[in-house]
Amino acid sequence: MRKTIVGILLFVTALGMGGGAGAVSYVAPGAITATASQDAFGLVPAFLTDQIPMDLSNLANPLSGWDSTNYWHTNSSHGFTSPASGNTAMDWLRYDFSSPKEINQMLVWNGAAGLPDRALKDVVIWYSTDGGASWIELASAQWAHTDSGFTYRPPSDVVDFGGASVDAVVVDILTNWGDRYTMMSEVAFQTTESPPPGTAIGYLPDGSEFMSWEPESFTFSKAYYVSQKHINTSDNNPGTEELPFKTINKAAEVLQPGERVLVSSGVYRECVRPARGGTDPQNIISYEAVPGQQVIITGAEEPELQWQASIPWIKTPDGAPGAPEGPVVVDDIWMTQMDGAIFDGYNPFGLVNYPQINEIGYWNVSTEFEDPRALLYLQVRGMIFQDGQRLKQVSTYSELFVNQGGTFWVEPDGLTIHITTFGGTNPNNSQWKLTAREQTFAPTSYYLNFIRVKGFIMEDAAGVFPFPQRGALSTMHGHHWIIEDNTFRWMNSVGVDCGPQGGFWVQGGGIYGYHLIRRNKFEDIGICGLAGPGSQSTLVEDNTFERICWHDVEMLAECAAMKLHSAQNTLIRRNIVRDVPHGCGLYIDSRRQNARITRMQSLIAPRITQPMALAVSISKRRRVSV
């Protein structure tokens, strides 16, 4: 039996995303001792120990891992006593950690390229919490053997440990897929623990380390509770678990550095306005959805609307030549008037998408407006949903006649809307939702720092087209935010902005950036999922972007799943981008320096009008690594 000190492959796939409070990370190189029942070549699953740093950035295909030259290989004889079960097994593998680790998943690359019959088949996985004095059986499984025609591929199997604290793992190998030899290439142990502050969690193009700043764990001096469904809920309460607040904004008013709020399930129709930020990593202010509960912060209202047959929009006044006599209605087109009280000072149905159209110096406005798509810039910001489906906005009343069902047009008063319904149904039998707020989570003051936002669903924000790049969630020029495990969906313009919003800087500010943006889902967003002008020293990892840039306005040059300006010392890795019809997958714009993009998946996504999946503005002496 041969011992080998090994490192662990730093890699994630869609199967491996998720985890706990900290960043997705893996047991550090040198923190594991691997042993095996036998080892013909001296390589107990080698974990790419020849790749330093072990992050796959220099492999041919950074989407998945497979080393076809380094792998564990047995002799032809088998039959060994398992250190965990004490039973006789074909072979076994053992991994001892230098200290207990909270393990989320074990990723397995089974077999070896071209030799699938040597892959492990029937296995039993054990783990220990006391250094191997006793063992707990985790699972019995049949692992898949790999295909033979590829050098690089995703993990063949994933073992879920559920965050258990583990200091050793044993894999009993009962059978393989038929050969007299047994082989396995790599494994990786994903941990839910955050690396210590000052620990390198990645590398930048100039060879420098991207350093972690967050604590290994958070300790809060006080917790507030919000639960709109609690029988005793009220914003006059003290915010305890027994007497919770009713709104998140009440908690936002009172939270102090080093405190957090836990929000229970519900639909919160408000824009959360933090009154202050934290002071340092140990005294962050944390906004958290209760784990396992669906907490929605929405910019929409669901008013009771009374629909009637549409009175058409007539340009000639009553009594003028050509004006019809008597009331005129149109079949299959309906109208209603919204109550302006639902908008609370911001009516997106009375505001155009792009009011600053004449401020773009590189546009020839008269030429651009020969293109019918230019009218999209002068449509309004509001969105309307019929039974959960978004209606398409049209620019003129007459277009309601020629478009298929599911369209709307707004009169200049910003309150009267005309629609055609999906399926030609009577709208009085449907549930209606209207966007009523620009944002869902944004301070009113600039430069609030050290804020964490975790686990929410934010939806239905009626934002303005960039510039400025104001997201439904906005850091408002702040620094050191953690934005993790959220879903952002159905935004008219930008999902999240993580810089000074572009085009202007506010007096009195200092540094900006240093954000950790991870494990979020961005879905159905009109212009840009993540906008980051001035995104310096920011980590963007393990996010998914789907159905972004549904507005056909790529002339704006701000349309992308991710659009980052001045991305300095920034690390972008392991993100998935799918279905971006009118924009880039990733757009790294001007003044970028020492930014690294690695292990992006599905960037070559369905696009209609934008030819670039990845766009990078390149200049001299500005390192960008892709």
Instruction: Write down all domains in the chain, each with its CATH number in brackets.
Output: 3-193 (2.60.120.260), 222-299+437-625 (2.160.20.10), 309-435 (2.60.40)
For residue 48, give the nearest of 9, 94, 1, 10 by alpha carbon. Answer: 9
The neighbour count for residue 478, using CB atoms within 10 Å, is 26
In this structure, what token pair is assigned to residue 312?
Answer: 């058409």
- 41 confidence band (pLDDT: 50, 70, 90): low
pTM: 0.70
Say whether pLDDT at 180 is over 70: yes
Rounded to whole angstroms, how far apart are CA atoms 377 and 380? 8
420-437 confidence digits (pLDDT tens)? 999 999 999 999 999 999
Q: What is the pLDDT of residue 53?
A: 24
- 600 confidence band (pLDDT: 50, 70, 90): low
Say whether pLDDT at 565 is over 90: no
Helix, strand, coil % over all residues of the chain, rounded to 5: 10, 35, 55
Q: What is the pLDDT of residue 199?
A: 65
Q: What is the pLDDT of residue 551?
A: 87
- 415 confidence band (pLDDT: 50, 70, 90): very high
For residue 529, give the nearest of 449, 437, 458, 594 by alpha carbon. Answer: 458
Q: What is the pLDDT of residue 67?
A: 47
477-486 confidence digits (pLDDT tens)? 888 999 999 9
- Give me the mean pLDDT over the 329-334 stretch: 79
Say whether pLDDT at 7 is over 60: no
Rounded to whole angstroms, how far apart are CA atoms 604 and 580? 9
In this structure, what token pair is assigned to residue 213?
Answer: 């700043």
Say whether pLDDT at 52 is over 50: no
Which residues in 39-76 are b (16+ Cβ under 10 Å) and which e? beeebbbbbbbebeebbbbebeebbbbbbeebbbbbee
